[in-house]
Amino acid sequence: MNKHALITGITGQDGAYLSQLLLGKGYRVHGILARRSSDTLWRLRKLGIADEVELIDGDLTDLSSLIRALQTSKADEVYNLGAQSFVGSSWQQPLLTAQVDGVGALNVLEAVRIVNPAARFYQASTSEMFGLIQAEMQDESTPFYPRSPYGVAKLMAHWATVNYRESFGLHASSGILFNHESPLRGIEFVTRKVTDAVARIKLGLQQELRLGNIDSKRDWGFAGDYVEAMWLMTQQAEADDYVIATGRTTTVREMCRIAFEHVGLSMEDALVIDPAFVRPAEVDVLLGNPAKAKAKLGWTPRTSLEQLITGMVDADLRRLQR
Ligand code: NAP
Ligand code: F7E
């Protein structure tokens, strides 16, 4: 018997890679499709799986749609990846972010509790919950200190996941994932903004790249590696919380330099610092310790930052040349 998975956020970066992984394992993959006027299936199409997943209309803010999705999909595993995931926008849309990322997760937990409490649940938590870091290297025991409405909303969802595990015995795990990127990353995030701009500058389609704070540091990994960790969490006998990271941190400036040097261009010739992209409060540095995931899940990241960024530049060059 094939297992059934239900993914919220199936049209996002991680939703697409997770769908591909689960289809490869023989799952029937169902996804919540939040209706939009424009095309959101491009990532699933790019991976060649748009016709293999089963889409169900729904929205994280609509509990009844989630209950119906749980019933229709007969899901054994539920992955809550849907979110307003752009930190920068969360200051402009704090209430929407709280509704979708915070209350939305609670809605999914309620749907699981009502329809099938035996289903296994994964919550897409984030290193943004560490925010103003309380330890040089962050692990599962590091206190949280979110610095954005996004981080605050995600913290609620994280604790709701822990609480439903402890209150109702749900198999509910929280993956505290550090930044992960890919050629399917949204263009508003800094890695993809940089790789797209570098490709455009190389092809003579753009002159400059405008960024905000290039001194902040992130622990960047490859999304394809990170979705494996999500699946491993739902396969464990006991649900738990795990930090998923590479254990290496790099400034935005250095990440940018890797991209420019890959195509033989000088970063200094094109980079313009623009205060418009500086945030009201910044997370200056993130560095995760994935030791628990390694020991208990057998998970390790396989892609270096250099491989990740140069691969993203190459993918953007190919796309723009077409
Ligand atoms: P993403 O590309 O922004 O995808 C977000 C997904 O959520 C999209 O499918 C989007 O649908 C959907 N969505 C937005 N609002 C919704 C709503 N009201 N109801 C239902 N679905 C809704 O994000 P990602 O990078 O794949 O990240 C996946 C999850 O991991 C997110 O929860 C994110 O916050 C979290 N996370 C990401 C990272 C990272 O570095 N990527 C790190 C830690 C945690 P549309 O396509 O229609 O907009
Ligand atoms: O910013 C700086 C910015 O938007 C990274 C999401 O997936 O990871 C992501 O959140 C850094 C920040 O990602 C620009 O100030 C400078 O310090 O790529 P980002 P993020 O905010 O770290 C976490 C783990 C998530 O959970 C989120 O969902 O880059 N930066 N100049 C810039 N960032 C952007 N976007 N654009 C700039 O022009």
Using alpha carbons only, what angle is made at residue 40 by residues 185 and 89, rounded to the nearest 5 degrees?
55
Structural domains in the chain?
4-180+220-244 (3.40.50.720), 186-218+248-284+303-321 (3.90.25.10)
What does the pLDDT read at residue 37?
86
- What ligand is nearest to the CA atom of residue 180? 1
Q: Whose CA is nearest to atom 12 of ligand 2?
A: 216
Q: What are phi and psi of 281, to 5 degrees?
A: -145, 135
- Pick from 36, 38, 62, 85 the residue to mutate for probing ligand 1's pocket: most ligand atoms within 8 Å of its CB: 85
pLDDT band at 1 (very low <50, low <70, confident <90, very high): confident
Q: Which residue has the tokens 């699981």?
A: 112
Closest atom of ligand 1 to 186 CA is 2
Distances (CA, A) of 72 to 125, 137, 203: 26, 42, 48
With a 6 Å cutoff on the Cβ, whether 5 touches ligand 2 is: no
Report yes or no: 305 and 218 within 8 Å, Cβ to Cβ.
no
CB 252 within 8 A of CB 214: yes
Ligand 1 centroid from CA 265, angstroms: 33
Ligand 2 pocket member 286 (CB < 6 A):
no
Closest CA relative to residue 60, chosen from 119, 100, 29:
100
Instruction: Tell me how far apart the 2 most distant CA atoms of the chain are, in Å.
Output: 58
**Best mutation site among 14, 41, 179, 241 for ligand 1, i.e. most ligand atoms within 8 A of its Cβ?**
14
Sign of CA pseudo-dihedral 320, 227, 309, 194: positive
pLDDT tens profile 188-234: 999 999 999 999 999 999 999 999 999 999 999 999 999 999 999 99
Chain position carrying tokens 């491993």: 232
Kindly give the distance from the C-alpha atom of residue 246 to the centroid of ligand 2, in angstroms, as a whole number: 17
Q: Give the count of alpha carbons within 13 A of 214, CB side only.
A: 17
pLDDT grade for 35, boundaries at 50, 70 and 90:
confident
Q: How far apart are the first and last CA of the chain?
A: 42
Average pLDDT over residues 259-278: 98
In this prediction, residue 14 has a pLDDT band, given cuts at 50, 70 and 90, of very high
pLDDT tens per residue across span 135-192: 999 999 999 999 999 999 999 999 999 999 999 999 999 999 999 999 999 999 999 9
> Ligand 1 center to residue 165 CA distance, Å?
23
Residue nearest to atom 22 of ligand 1 (CA): 82
Kindly list the catalytic residues: 126, 128, 150
Which atom in ligand 2 lies closest to the alpha carbon of residue 124?
Answer: 26
d(CA 267, CA 55): 42
How many angstroms is it from 180 CA to the middle of ligand 1?
12
List, as one string, the DSSP characters of 236-298: SSS--EEEE--S--EEHHHHHHHHHHHTT--HHHHEEE-GGG--SS---B--B--HHIIIII-
Cβ-based neighbours of 163, under 8 Å, separated by 6 or more: none
Residue 268's Cβ-side half-sphere holds a number of Cα atoms within 13 Å equal to 0
Any long-range contacts for 136-140 (C-beta under 8 Å, 24+ apart)? 136/287, 137/247, 137/287, 137/288, 137/289, 138/243, 138/245, 138/286, 138/287, 138/288, 138/289, 139/243, 139/288, 139/289, 139/291, 139/292, 140/176, 140/241, 140/242, 140/243, 140/292
pLDDT at residue 43, rounded to an integer = 98
Give 93-151 pLDDT, tens digit per residue.
999 999 999 999 999 999 999 999 999 999 999 999 999 999 999 999 999 999 999 99
pLDDT at 268: 97
84: pLDDT strictly greater than 90? yes
Number of residues that this document lists for the chain: 322
Distance CA 30, CA 95 (A): 28
pTM of the model: 0.98
CA nearest ligand 2 atom 15, residue: 213
Q: What is the pLDDT of residue 129?
A: 99
Give the model's confidence band at 78: pLDDT under 50 very low, under 70 low, under 90 confident, else very high: very high
Ligand 2 lined by 61 (C-beta under 6 Å): no
- Rounded to the nearest whole angstrom, what is the distance from the C-alpha of residue 261 to the centroid of ligand 2? 21
Ligand 2 contact via 218 beta carbon (within 6 Å):
yes
CB 69 within 8 A of CB 6: yes
Find the ligand nearest to 125 CA.
1
Query: Is the CB of residue 116 less than 8 Å from the CB of residue 71?
Result: no
Ligand 2 center from residue 188 Cα (angstroms): 8
